[in-house]
Chain A
Amino acid sequence: MTRSLVPTVCPYCAVGCGLYIVVDDGKAVGIEYMQDHPASEGSLCPKGNAALEMLYHPDRLTHPLKRAGEMWLSISWPEALDLVAGGLSKALREGGPAGLGFIASSKCTNEESYLLQKMVRSLGCANIDSCARLCHSSSVTGLGRALGTCSTTNILSDLANSRCILAIGTNFAENHPIVARWVFRAREAGGRLIVADPRRTPTAWGGDLFLQLNPGTDVALINGMIKVILDEGLINRRFIEDRTEGFSDLESSLEGFSLSEAERITGVSASDIVGAARAYARSPASAIVYCMGVTQHANGTDNVQALANLLLICGQIGRSGAGIYPLRGQNNVQGTCDMGCLPDFYPGYLSFEDPRTQEAFRRAWGSNRLPAKKGLTSLEMMDAAAANGTIKAMYIVGEDAANTHPCSKRTAKALGRLEFLVVQDIFLTETARFADVVLPAACWAEKEGSSTSTERRIQWHEKAVEPPGDAMADLWIICNLARRLGLNFHYRSSKEVMDEICDLVPIYRGAKPSASGGVLWPCKKEGEISILHEETFPLARGRAIIRSVHFRRTAEETSSRYPFLLTIGRIGAHHNAGSMTMRSPSLLGMAPHRFVEINPKDALSLGLDDGADVVVETARGEARAKTRSTDRVMPGTLFMPFHFPGANHLVRGYRDEHSGMGELKIAACRIERC
């Protein structure tokens, strides 16, 4: 065989950078940059540069595994699939479809996610969720209600046309570095960058104005900005009148709210709040970029709604440079949501409550067992399994729930109590250790399919190399399992599934995803829609909804026993629970162990020198780390990355009532030398 270049999409974050895999004699030997890619222009962050490293890692799962006491037995695919089908059927017979729980993977392709939820719903089960629960579920509810869509309104490269960018709760410099490429372009053209974060992140270094707010006070900050805009008459009255509803409620709800109150709650000076508000409202095109710092709170939906209010009263949407960017975390988390791997939405965010949706899918799938009610979220599935055993069997694809869910010990208890657990993954994760059967999956480079990046870009990637050992593509696994469960899943290729998706899912209609750049949804004949909501919002009456929100303290408060606030986040070298990046030698070398950032004043008063071994303890548990004394964090606040196993043991995960998001960002803690 000869040397070839296979176009692909980076498997890490949701920017969706293109690259070529150099394949020589059937083996991946290196990468080449894709200079003409619309989102990345050939640039890659370290994770993208190192993407191939985990391909041939010796830890890759190569055979289906069956638990035999404390041991694992290698078994054949027919045996494994029979076991899984048998286990799921038994749970179905005994507990009905409500006794099953499924978690889809944002690392799978759109086609695989679509098929998984189709299989689950065809079995009559409504309990399907994905990692979006822990990432942008607050955006799905918040932006869904306010704007009618939950995605970036404009494409990433359009950030270059913004004259003012408000980055809140996002550290894109480390976690979505390619976004910084476009933000810097905006700054070169005279645009301003305002960064709001409790921590002085590398993103904040590049900001013109840095608002270091107290953790969990985002609503107060945004309402403070809105108050300034109202008081100074900086609203866009025409836009409000023509295109929104609910403005007068917002106005009256903030009558009793003052700038000094915003200052007191957030810890940000009134003059900075005024400066940010004026810059955002006055600029000819302002964009909001946000991420987990906004969504991963027990009031995440309120945070998102507050941002929507801000942009709507200023009319900063629907034009080049003006819009909102929820930055997704995983390469295909947008697609997994688009494909309906959410307990309350069918593919394309079609609501359960609409009988026409039910009817359309019943007819298309030829199934009369589709669930009529919404199912449990992934966190509720764990609750149900841990508390009363109403969930008896689970099927988890490519998610390390044991490490990523809040209050992980409870998750471990839930997984331990399950009668039957199947995990489909590329490595034996912490979650997989609880499984009865482990199915070895192919990773992104080893299969074809499409994925949808945070900017709604559906990109096709070809298979570059063969999976290791007996590992198989998730599509193959799902189809074979579904057939054993009596479903008519006779798909020959991903392309065939994509055709069905394009037929059935309105936002994907007409999509012909290609490699090297792909296509944006929604697809229109007249060309790509790089800016949403130019004329109307996909809501009743075509108007966006302004809804007043008030600041509530939802996070754990400090006490004499737990005097510090711990915030949890990500760092540049690692990705999520680290099952991939910890197996990537060059990335692991950059950040080999867990650290906790502490302000030098606190470090001094506790007698902790830089690099001290400490234990961080919350009411849930403890984690060991090395200190990093730095004024990136405020006194009284600690920061710890969650990539290293055990960090999410510490957070309690209070729920957002609208989205079911758990509070993953803040916990009261103490820190001691160990």
Chain B
Amino acid sequence: MKEIFVRLDRCLGCRSCEMACAVEHSQAKSILTAASEVPVPRRRLYVEYAEGQKIPLVCRHCEDAPCVAVCRTGAMRQDPITGIVDQDQNRCVGCYMCAMVCPYGVIGQQKESRMVVKCDRCGSREVPACVEACPVNTLIFAEEADFAEILRRDAASRLARGYSMRA
């Protein structure tokens, strides 16, 4: 199963991903009208600044997700096969329990009504909008094994570089 992985060392903080996410979750799916739509389309991932780095935070779709566990109306649900955590807008009562227990703070609130918004992994798309929008491939949509290979390759080149610098 493919996941959205983040290469933590290379985000520029440009926030193209946030913009593409909001547009993808607008009714017309167009930047031209997104800003004037009601409800205002909200981003579902967040580029945060910490310790001299930008870190994009995006829902991890946890196994046995705490947001699903605490949802008392069954609005927050996890697909047993894909593992994607999504919420049924019709059942959400806006108690924000899910937002409180999320360890990454990636469950946001819709401005206009008591309703949460979160990453749905862009169900209708082959590649999530944020991943496609990232200009430097900080966000990667891949199988875990393939992502690990990318990290190993990066680590190997870091090692090689350090070694050659010493020489």
Name A residues whose Cβ lies closer than 8 Å to a Cβ of B: 22, 28-31, 33, 40, 42-46, 48-50, 52-53, 55-56, 173-174, 177-178, 180-181, 184, 187-190, 192, 200, 202, 205-206, 208, 279, 572-573, 585-586, 590
Contacts and interface: CB of A to CB of B under 8 A. Distances in A.
A202 B37 CA distance: 33
A40 B12 CA distance: 16
Given A55-B32, A190-B164, 6 more contacts: A46-B16, A46-B19, A49-B16, A177-B14, A205-B53, A586-B19
A42 B20 CA distance: 14
5 contacts: A44-B16, A53-B35, A173-B12, A188-B153, A572-B12
B160 interface: yes
Interface in B18-47: 19-20, 22-23, 28-32, 34-35
A269 to B, nearest CB: 16
B134 interface: yes
B13 interface: yes
A178 B135 CA distance: 6
Contact of A586 (B12, B22, B136, B153): B22
Contact of B31 (A42, A52, A590): A52
B157 interface: yes
Nearest to B132: A33
Nearest to B30: A30
Contacts of B22: 586
Contacts of A52: 31-32
A586 B34 contact: yes
A586 B31 contact: yes
A178 B23 CA distance: 21
B32 A180 contact: no
Given A187-B157, A202-B12, A50 B31 contact: yes
Contacts of B165: 192, 279
Closest 8 CB pairs of A and B: A43-B135, A585-B35, A30-B30, A173-B12, A190-B157, A177-B135, A181-B136, A177-B14
B73 interface: no
B161 interface: yes
B14 A572 contact: yes
Contacts of A206: 9-10, 12
Nearest to B134: A43
A585 B136 CA distance: 24
Given A177-B14, A177-B136, A49 B32 contact: no
A205 B52 contact: yes
Contact of B30 (A29, A174, A189, A190): A29
A190 B160 contact: yes
A356 B32 CA distance: 51
B15 interface: yes
A202 B13 contact: yes
Interface string B98-142: 000000000000000000000000000000000011111100000
Contacts of A173: 12-14
Nearest to B159: A190
B154 A43 contact: no
B32 A184 contact: no
Contacts of A30: 29-32
Contacts of A53: 31-32, 35
Contact of A174 (B10, B14, B29, B34): B14
Contacts of A49: 16, 19-20, 23, 31, 133
Nearest to B161: A190
A208 B161 contact: yes
Contacts of B35: 53, 585-586
A264 B41 CA distance: 53
A489 to B, nearest CB: 35
B60 interface: no
B54 interface: yes
A2 to B, nearest CB: 17
Interface string B141-164: 000000000000110010011001
A586 B42 CA distance: 11
B15 A572 contact: yes
Nearest to B154: A188
A46 B15 contact: yes
B32 A29 contact: yes
Contacts of B10: 184, 206
Contacts of B13: 173-174, 202, 572
A44 B133 contact: yes
Contacts of A181: 135-137
A45 B164 CA distance: 34
Contact of A46 (B14, B54, B132, B153): B14
Contacts of B20: 49
Nearest to B163: A190
Find the residue from A46, A55, A174, A192 having the highest chain B CB count within 10 A.
A46
Contacts of A50: 19, 31
Nearest to A52: B32
Contacts of A586: 19, 22, 31, 34-35
Nearest to A53: B31
B82 to A, nearest CB: 25
Nearest to B153: A188
A415 to B, nearest CB: 33
A192 B162 CA distance: 10
Contacts of B134: 43
Nearest to A586: B19
A590 B31 CA distance: 15
Nearest to A189: B157
B12 A180 contact: yes
A466 to B, nearest CB: 15
Contact of B135 (A180, A187, A202, A208): A180
B129 to A, nearest CB: 10
Contacts of A202: 12-13, 54
B23 to A, nearest CB: 8
Contacts of B161: 190, 192, 208
Contact of A184 (B23, B28, B34, B136): B136
A188 B154 CA distance: 6
A208 B164 CA distance: 13
Find the residue from B28, B160, B165 having the highest chain A CB count within 10 A.
B165
Contacts of B14: 45-46, 173-174, 177, 572
A597 to B, nearest CB: 13
Contacts of B135: 40, 43-45, 177-178, 180-181
B150 to A, nearest CB: 9
